[in-house]
Amino acid sequence: MNKEELLSRLKVIVSNYTQNKEALDSINEDTDFLKDLKINSANLVDVVLDVEEEFGIEIDNLSMEKMLNVRAAVEIIETKLHEAGRE
Amino acid sequence: MMNKQEILEKLPYSAPFLFVDDLLTIDENGATGTYTFNKDLDFYKGHFKDHPVTPGVILTETMAQIGMVCLGIYLSGYIDSGASSHVMLTSTAIDFMKPVFPGEKVTVVSEKVYFRFKKLHCKVEMKNEAGEVVCKGTLSGMVTTKLNG
């Protein structure tokens, strides 16, 4: 899976939890889930649970704590897919 | 492991905003408890004028205190018996089927859907003494060590 495809699948997930359409339209690696997309901590958990389902991976507590922006999320998803041998 | 009395003591509420009388069962999958709405509760004076009915927000709060907060305290104690935990309500989706009048006793049953990354999501249902479902839905909350988010 290339980064572009990964990002577009992530964007679909995130779109369910943000009201900030402007920030969503211009989503990039620097987009912060809390500051830019105004996602609260409870919905951030939902984003992570949806990521697990969408990509068939398991996110541990340590990774969850780091998933605060798009760059970190993409890196973690790539790492988990790699570990599962399905990059 | 925490027992029912310890959980009740850990609840951060008091009158007039404590809506738990008894915790009947609690385990890692859910909780059951009861509350009786005293007919002298203040909100009956205004909801509604001359026609007292328990407000939906109070029914929701009752389900949250019994079904989610008690369960959240139990689950967080189960995992980490360190700092005392509270549960901050983060979302509700409740359908109301029947009115609850002053003096009625209700039973709340909750069932954990998931508890991950400190978020507790559960299904809740409230029944009256006739065994009829008065309201049901889903509630979510975050387990936190502070009360003001």
Do the Cβ atoms of A40 and B90 come within 8 Å?
Answer: yes
What CA–CA distance (Å, rounded) separates A86 from B87?
A: 38
DSSP B13: -
Q: Which chain B residue is nearest to residue A67, measuring alpha carbons? A: B117
Q: Which chain B residue is nearest to residue A43, measuring alpha carbons? A: B90
Do the Cβ atoms of B141 and A42 come within 8 Å?
Answer: yes
Mutate to test the interface with B, among A33, A45, A60, A68 (most CBs of B within 10 A): A45
Do the Cβ atoms of A49 and B116 come within 8 Å?
Answer: yes
pLDDT value at B81 more than 70 = no
Provide the mean pLDDT of chain B: 92
Chain A segment 14-73 residues within 8 A of B by beta carbon are 40-43, 45-46, 48-49, 61, 64
CA A41 to chain centroid, in Å, comes to: 13
pLDDT value at B149 more than 70 = no
Mean pLDDT, residues A42-55: 96
CB B132 within 8 A of CB B125: no
pLDDT value at B82 more than 60 = no
The whole-number pLDDT of residue A86 equals 75
Q: Which chain B residue is nearest to residue A58, measuring alpha carbons? A: B116
Do the Cβ atoms of A49 and B118 come within 8 Å?
Answer: no
Q: Which chain B residue is nearest to residue A59, measuring alpha carbons? A: B117
Q: Collect all residues from B whose CB is shorter than 8 A from any CB in A.
A: 90-91, 114, 116-119, 140-142
Strands B30-36, B86-96: pairing kind = unpaired
- Provide the pLDDT confidence category of residue B1 given band limits of 50, 70 and 90: low
The whole-number pLDDT of residue B86 equals 82
Phi/psi region, residue A60 (left: phi>0; alpha: psi -120 to 50; beta: rest), is beta
pLDDT value at B83 more than 80 = no
The whole-number pLDDT of residue B89 equals 95
Please give the ipTM for the structure prediction. 0.86
Give all domains of chain A, ordered by start, each with its CATH number: 3-83 (1.10.1200.10)
Q: Where are the strands (E) in chain B, listed by range? A: 22-27, 30-36, 86-96, 105-116, 119-127, 133-144
Q: Provide, as residue numbers in chain B, all residues whose Cβ is less than 8 Å from the Cβ of A49.
A: 114, 116
- Provide the pLDDT confidence category of residue B2 given band limits of 50, 70 and 90: confident
Q: List Cβ neighbours of A8 (8 Å cut-off, separation of 6 or more).
A: none
Give all domains of chain B, ordered by start, each with its CATH number: 4-144 (3.10.129.10)
**pTM of the model as a whole:** 0.90
Nearest to B75 by CA among B109, B116, B108: B116
User: Max CA-CA distance within chain B?
Assistant: 48
Provide the mean pLDDT of chain A: 93
Mean pLDDT, residues A19-43: 93
Task: Let me know how many helices (H) and strands (E) chain A has, helices first.
Answer: 5, 0
Range from B47-56, B84-93, B131-140 carrying the lowest mean pLDDT? B84-93
CB B20 within 8 A of CB B67: no
Cβ-count burial B109-127 (b if 16+ within 10 Å, e if not): bbebeebebbbbbbebbbb
Do the Cβ atoms of B119 and A40 come within 8 Å?
Answer: no
Mean pLDDT, residues B121-125: 98
Nearest to A68 by CA among A45, A34, A26: A34
pLDDT value at B24 more than 60 = yes
What CA–CA distance (Å, rounded) separates B48 from B57?
A: 14
CB B58 within 8 A of CB B104: no
Tell which wins on pLDDT, B87 or B31: B31
The 10s digit of each residue's pLDDT in B68-79 is 999 999 998 866
DSSP B42: G
